[in-house]
Amino acid sequence: MASLWVVAVLFGSHGCASPNSLDRLPITGTVIPEQIAEGFEGSIIFKPKGKGPSAATSIINGKYQFDKQNGPIAGVYQVIVNRHPKMEKLDGLQLKRDVKSPPSQWTFEVTVTRESLDLEPLVLNEESVVKK
């Protein structure tokens, strides 16, 4: 009986420093491309500056949305925005990349907090473009 009590105490005392420290957040946001007139399609990746999980999702018509399963946790992130080239249909099912619109990449530093679940728009311009 004593050994069962010790196991229960050890199991009960082993836990995280904060019960909500690794909760993923359902954040939303927009990207504003300065030189792209049509709907922006791509992806956004939140890479933590410290420890923690990364988060990634699609951007459709300039908007992105995370939920509680795939969102970032609170913290400071390097955010990478990738533009995906337009795809054209050929013969029904085949797809071809539009060679006139090469993919582009932008990067930002963003702080995610529990209080700001709707992030400020990310403006995609020459200052934020990743040079290759």
What single string gives the DSSP state of each residue in 76-87? EEEEEEEEPPPE
- CA distance linking residue 80 with residue 45, whole number of Å: 5
pTM greater than 0.75 = no
Domain ranges of the chain: 22-124
Instruction: Assess if CATH 2.60.40.10 describes domain 22-124.
Output: yes
pLDDT, one tens digit per residue, over 5-51 is 333 333 333 344 344 567 999 999 999 887 666 678 899 999 999 88
Is the pLDDT score of 110 beyond 70? yes
Phi/psi at 10 (5° precision): -65, -45
Residue 62 or 12, more confident? 62
Antiparallel, parallel or unpaired: β 55-59 and 42-48: antiparallel
pLDDT of residue 92: 59
For residue 103, pLDDT over 60 is answered with: no
